[in-house]
C-alpha cells in the first residue's frame, strides 16, 4: 500500500500540486486522471522520488520515503518498477538486454540467472522468442510489453505506469491494460497509472483519483464515476461521446 499525504509542489511560485492525499491499495489498479497540465506527472515524480515535494509525505507500506535514510530509500527504490511513457527502451540494445538491464545494474545474479529471469518476464508479457530483436524491429505495442517486462523484472511491490497507452491503437491499448491488470492481480502489486485515457479508467480502474488544477476533486471506483456530481470531472469524462451516450 502507498499513502500520500498533503503533497504540495510549486515551481517558481506557481502551485502545481496543492495538497494531494490518497491511498493506493495493494493488488489494485489505482489511476490518476485529469486533463493536460493538471499535475499528474509531477505527482508521479513526487511519489517515486524524482521530484522532492515542498510538503507532504509518501508512505510505502508505512515507510516514509522522504524521511528515510539513504539505505531505506534505496531499499524502497528497488521495490519499484516503472513503465515510462513511450517505453524508454535503449535502441542499441536487444529486447532481452533491455529487460535484464535492472538486473545488471542492481543485482549480483549470475549471467545465467539474469538471462533466465529476463526470459521468464518476456514470456509473461507474451513476447517469447523475441530476445534478439532490436527495438526498431518491433511494434509500439510490443515495445510497451518489453517496458512492462523490464518494469517487473526485479519483482516489484509497486508498479508505476506513465501513460501506458499513449500512441497505441484502441485494441492494443486494451490488451496492455489487461496485461497490467493480470500482473497486478498475479503478483499482488500496488499499481499506479497516470493517464487521460478514460477507456483505461472504465476497463481496469479500481481506485480513481481525478486531478484538476493541482487539486484532487474526486476519488472512487470506475462503477461510480458516471454518477459523479463534480462538474469539472463530468466535463472531462463526458468529453468522450461514447461515455456521454452510455450514461443516458
Ligand X SMILES: Nc1ncnc2c1ncn2[C@@H]1O[C@H](COP(=O)(O)OP(=O)(O)OP(=O)(O)O)[C@@H](O)[C@H]1O
Q: Which residues bind ligand X (CB under 6 A)?
A: 11, 16, 34, 36-42, 196
Give the closest residue to 177 by CA, choosing from 141, 225, 153, 208. 141
Cβ proximity to ligand X, 40 vs 114, nearer residue: 40
Shortest approach of ligand X to residue 163 CB, angstroms? 7
Cβ proximity to ligand X, 87 vs 102, nearer residue: 87
Shortest approach of ligand X to residue 165 CB, angstroms? 12
Cβ proximity to ligand X, 51 vs 134, nearer residue: 51
Q: How many Å apart are CA 134 and CA 20, to the nearest integer?
A: 40
| C-alpha cell read off for 98 | 533491455
Pairing of the two strands 55-60 and 63-64: antiparallel
List alpha helices for 16-166, DSSP H.
Answer: 40-48, 70-78, 95-106, 111-124, 140-152
Shortest approach of ligand X to residue 13 CB, angstroms? 11
Shortest approach of ligand X to residue 234 CB, angstroms? 18
Output the CA–CA distances (angstroms, integers) from residue 109 to 75, 132, 149, 158, in the order listed. 17, 21, 18, 22
Cβ proximity to ligand X, 126 vs 167, nearer residue: 167
Cβ proximity to ligand X, 51 vs 59, nearer residue: 51
Shortest approach of ligand X to residue 209 CB, angstroms? 12
Shortest approach of ligand X to residue 36 CB, angstroms? 3
| C-alpha cell read off for 87 | 517505453
∠ Cα 158 159 164 (to 5°): 165
Cβ proximity to ligand X, 42 vs 96, nearer residue: 42
3-class DSSP assignment, residue 5:
strand
- Alpha carbon 239 to its chain centroid, in Å, reads 23
Residue 221 region by backbone torsions, left for phi larger than 0, else alpha for psi between -120 and 50, else beta? beta
Amino acid at each position: 500500500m502507498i499513502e500520500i499525504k498533503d503533497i504540495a509542489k510549486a515551481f517558481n511560485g506557481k502551485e502545481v500540486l496543492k495538497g494531494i492525499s490518497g491511498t493506493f491499495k495493494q493488488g489494485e489498479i489505482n489511476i490518476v486522471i485529469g486533463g493536460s497540465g493538471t499535475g499528474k506527472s509531477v505527482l508521479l515524480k513526487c511519489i517515486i522520488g524524482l521530484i522532492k515535494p515542498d510538503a507532504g509525505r509518501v508512505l510505502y507500506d508505512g515507510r516514509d520515503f522522504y524521511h528515510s535514510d539513504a539505505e531505506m530509500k534505496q531499499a524502497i527504490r528497488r521495490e519499484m518498477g516503472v513503465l515510462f511513457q513511450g517505453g524508454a527502451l535503449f535502441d542499441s540494445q536487444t529486447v532481452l538486454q533491455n529487460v535484464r538491464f535492472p538486473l545488471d545494474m542492481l543485482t549480483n545474479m549470475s549471467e545465467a540467472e539474469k538471462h533466465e529471469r529476463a526470459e521468464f518476464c518476456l514470456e509473461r508479457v507474451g513476447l517469447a522468442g523475441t530476445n534478439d530483436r532490436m527495438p526498431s524491429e518491433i511494434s509500439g505495442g510490443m515495445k510497451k510489453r518489453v517496458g512492462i517486462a523490464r518494469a517487473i523484472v526485479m519483482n516489484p511491490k509497486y508498479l508505476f505506469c506513465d501513460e501506458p497507452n499513449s500512441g497505441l491503437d484502441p485494441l492494443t491499448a486494451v490488451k496492455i491494460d489487461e496485461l497490467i491488470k493480470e500482473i497486478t492481480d498475479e503478483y499482488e502489486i500496488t499499481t499506479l497509472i497516470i493517464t487521460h485515457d478514460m477507456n483505461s479508467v472504465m476497463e481496469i480502474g479500481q481506485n480513481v483519483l481525478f486531478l484538476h488544477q493541482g487539486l484532487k476533486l474526486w476519488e472512487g471506483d470506475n462503477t461510480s464515476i458516471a454518477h459523479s456530481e463534480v462538474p469539472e470531472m463530468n466535463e472531462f469524462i463526458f468529453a468522450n461521446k461514447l461515455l456521454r451516450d452510455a450514461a443516458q
